[in-house]
Structure 1
């Protein structure tokens, strides 16, 4: 069991390590699409989101609707329109599950299409799918990765229990190699496993435990309970809903929302606007939520804004109302785990 579990965990680990470099490499390979090189943009105004959407639809001739657009604060960068979430529930693997997963880079000032990418064939999306679900249907593929990782976690804990020295004399052989009089390769291999295993165990535990967050709800509940100071009730914002009549919605409503987001967070990196169409996966939102990514290199600083979908009026900022970690100081071990989680988990 240890060998088979170790092999699976190794594949999960190596794909995760490769995916860490996704943003930098993709930025290099898609540079001509990411930047539109439009001149004198300070004196120009971007086209309406709806106008750009129409140009994208005409260019791609895609039968599925666009899901969302990612808008950078830096207007020297292209807008990215995504065809995504058209998921086939009967598909058993990555390619069968996603009927469409494309990104379209657009010059926001002219509507010029800078690049169209089929994300199902992108190297890093394949790597991410292996990391999360071994390229199986995500509804159950996450358990294929999650269960071996859970077994690995129990093996890690049991290994530490077996490693724990029974007395002071035994502890001398647990932290450093003492091979002056040791010639047997079996003994040396045993010491390598014991000593190196101890030094990497804390990091391995944090990486494995936080990775399980994406596979099992009970891990999510544990982390939420710890970092919320003992709360067992999740914040509920479903009561904040669109109040304005649908007649108030027009082709400039998304532009109105975009202007408010950029006024609230002028130093952010980018934000995403859902275009509001029905999709095959029947995902529903109780309100219109705009996700703002503050930093270019990480997701751990972000904001979530709620707007009235019809009038475009700003309702509230979810993040500023749910900073539960700031209510009281955390114990040192919790702070330590949180920092490691943010460092190693931010990329995923």
Structure 2
């Protein structure tokens, strides 16, 4: 029976080998571009803060001004209303205020403010070289830069939709390559697993290349699977809906003719409401104090101020730290006495919903702060190399010439 099992497995493995090979060859170039840009974009925030440090860091001198004082001075200076605030307690950090003029459409403009002097040190609408570069990286990762082309490539869809489709197909092929790679690797290496986890640097370049592909892929396969499984969420409506239903986060779309305000907002969404009439006179300092009383851990606080005095206040708090988990906690406070109207704590959600609502964090790697970011960065770097090493393995095998058997020499009759 053993030979039959071996023969059957060889046939199955050959099928998976072919799927793995052609999935990689078809998607190879796009995977390199998507994964390389993704590798860089993992540290999007850190790169922006390092290169444009003057926007994010200030010199600590004396005592910080109160958030209410900053708000008052900004509204006078910018002739606009503050509709949202991102506040942190780090001494050398700027704070961010979002302002909108009365009747202005959109989300408004975010200003970076020195909390010691109330000086506006930057604006979200200001273009910087770093912002332009990271914008290109995001475009390459998400739409394969097709959104940058003004002339429509196809009549049936826009360039952004085309880029999204190509990205989605590529990601699914990449995911298929990861799954088939696991199926190929595990049974093949189970008996000699120690050898399969090492790179034989003393071998020739073909052996080193082979080990780099197989060994590095094995070490990163969990992270690669998560990246591949979450990626199509932004490419296909059917995939997004399936993900949400699987993880119990699906909400029926708002019927046409009804206002979006009747639909319960997504807890992790940062929605800035349109300012109508005069904004409510609320004390930011009291809001922060109330938030920290309810959520006592260290973190940054974002407040969305209501457009009317009777509307509730939306507050989000984000954990900070090297191992800080993703997922903000949401509070809805009464605008009259700051009592908690509703509390949506991430830790109170069922495990399925925690996973479902962490789709972006799972994809970009900040699920556990800087710790997981580094793991995703390394894994994404490995993913960038896999199409290259895999193609070289295929090319080297293709170049092998079948050994020709020497023709049998006729036997010479022995002399009597």
Aligned residue for 1:260? 290
Of 56, 66, 69, the residue aligned with 2:85 is: 69
Q: TM-score, normalised by structure 1?
A: 0.62
- The DSSP-based 3-state class of the residue aligned with 1:104 is strand
- What CA distance in whole angstroms lies between the structure 1 residues aligned with 2:26 and 2:94? 45
- What CA distance in whole angstroms lies between the structure 2 residues aligned with 1:166 and 1:253? 65
Aligned residue for 1:105? 112
- What CA distance in whole angstroms lies between the structure 2 residues aligned with 1:82 and 1:144? 35
CA spacing shift, 1:169–1:288, aligned 2, 3 Å:
same
- What CA distance in whole angstroms lies between the structure 1 residues aligned with 2:208 and 2:239? 37
Q: What does 1:78-157 align with in structure 2 at a 5 Å threshold?
A: 78-82=94-98, 103-108=110-115, 110-118=117-125, 121=128, 122=131, 123-135=133-145, 136=147, 140=161, 142-157=164-179
Contact map agreement 1:257 1:313 (CA 8 A) in 2: no
Q: What does 1:190-339 align with in structure 2 at a 5 Å threshold?
A: 193-194=213-214, 196-216=216-236, 231=248, 238=264, 250-252=280-282, 256-265=286-295, 267-275=297-305, 288-295=313-320, 300-308=326-334, 312-319=338-345, 322-325=348-351
- What CA distance in whole angstroms lies between the structure 2 residues aligned with 1:261 and 1:138? 44
- Post-superposition offset of 1:143: 4.1
The runs of 5 or more residues in structure 1 that have no matched partner are 85-98, 240-245, 278-285, 331-336
For the pair shown, the structure with the greater C-alpha radius of gyration is: 2
- What CA distance in whole angstroms lies between the structure 1 residues aligned with 2:199 and 2:113? 59
- Post-superposition offset of 1:233: 6.4
Aligned residue for 2:35? 13
- Post-superposition offset of 1:175: 6.2
Question: Residues 223-257 of structure 1, C-alpha deviation per residue, up to 9 Å, x if partnerless?
Answer: 6677x6xx576699939xxxxxx999622265543
The runs of 5 or more residues in structure 2 that have no matched partner are 1-22, 101-105, 148-157, 253-261, 266-275, 356-361, 378-416
Question: Residues 26-77 of structure 1, C-alpha deviation per residue, up to 9 Å, x if partnerless?
Answer: 33344443344464316x533356525524634xx9xxx8763311134653
CA spacing shift, 1:55–1:124, aligned 2, 3 Å:
farther
CA spacing shift, 1:75–1:164, aligned 2, 3 Å:
closer
- The DSSP-based 3-state class of the residue aligned with 2:290 is helix
Task: Give the number of equivalent residue pairs.
Answer: 302
Judge which range, 312-321 or 190-199, deviates more.
190-199
RMSD, matched Cα: 5.2
Contact map agreement 2:200 2:208 (CA 8 A) in 1: no
- What CA distance in whole angstroms lies between the structure 2 residues aligned with 1:194 and 1:22? 29
Aligned residue for 1:33? 55
Contact map agreement 1:50 1:252 (CA 8 A) in 2: no
- Post-superposition offset of 1:78: 2.4
